[in-house]
């Protein structure tokens, strides 16, 4: 069997290689703030107020709840995020005042990273790339919904 495990054939490998490179790019801009892009995005989603629970936040981030807990811990320890209990089983993450300040700083750094990367793109442009990535995510979601777990 001749299987090529490079980014040209394997979508998973190509996606991971690209994600790693893009992540490093954004992290260079966010490093002076002591943040990584995953943390900055997490702060942004929390700051948007769209997550009414930790489970909802995990869904919005596209990660497992256990991964979310690991990602929240350093933000809580840095006093950027706190968890507020809203009911017997509902916990809502919120930004602290310091978290709101750090999010504003992170947005500026993120915008510089975003602009520098999108300025380097020829074809396809950033919108086309987002569209293709969205199509890939949707295909995987459809497969997850229809393929029984082994």
Structure tokens at 11: 């979508």
Torsion of Cα atoms, 102 then 104 then 107 then 108, to 10°: -110
Helix (H, G, I), strand (E, B) or coil at 84: strand
pLDDT confidence of residue 149: 65
Angstrom distance (rounded) from CA 9 to CA 1: 14
In the chain, the domains with their CATH numbers are 11-146 (1.10.10.10)
Which residues of the chain carry a pLDDT beneath 50?
1
Give the pLDDT confidence score for residue 4 in this predicted structure: 61
Q: What pLDDT is attached to residue 98?
A: 98
Cα–Cα distances (Å) from 2 to 8, 15, 66, 80, in that order, read 14, 21, 37, 50
Nearest-CA neighbor of 57 among 77, 34, 84? Answer: 84
Contact 39, 74 (CB under 8 A): yes
Question: For position 124, what pLDDT does the model report?
Answer: 79
Alpha helices in 8-125 (DSSP H): 11-30, 37-48, 54-61, 65-77, 97-120
Q: What is the pLDDT of residue 1?
A: 44
Tens-place pLDDT, residues 87-106:
788 889 999 999 999 999 99
Q: What is the pTM of this model?
A: 0.83
């Amino acid at each position: 069997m001749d299987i090529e495990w490079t980014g040209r054939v394997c979508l998973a490998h190509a996606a991971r290689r690209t994600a790693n490179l893009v992540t490093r790019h954004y992290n260079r801009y966010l490093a002076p703030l002591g943040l990584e892009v995953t943390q900055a995005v997490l702060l942004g989603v929390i700051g948007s107020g769209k997550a009414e629970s930790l489970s909802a936040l995990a869904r919005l981030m596209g990660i497992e709840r256990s991964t979310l807990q690991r990602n929240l811990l350093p933000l809580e320890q840095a006093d950027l995020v706190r968890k507020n209990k809203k009911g017997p089983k509902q916990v809502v993450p919120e930004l602290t005042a310091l978290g709101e300040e750090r999010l504003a700083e992170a947005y500026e750094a993120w915008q510089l990273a975003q602009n520098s990367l999108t300025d380097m793109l020829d074809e396809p442009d950033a919108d086309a790339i987002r569209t293709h990535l969205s199509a890939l995510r949707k295909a995987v979601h459809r497969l997850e919904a229809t393929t029984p777990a082994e």
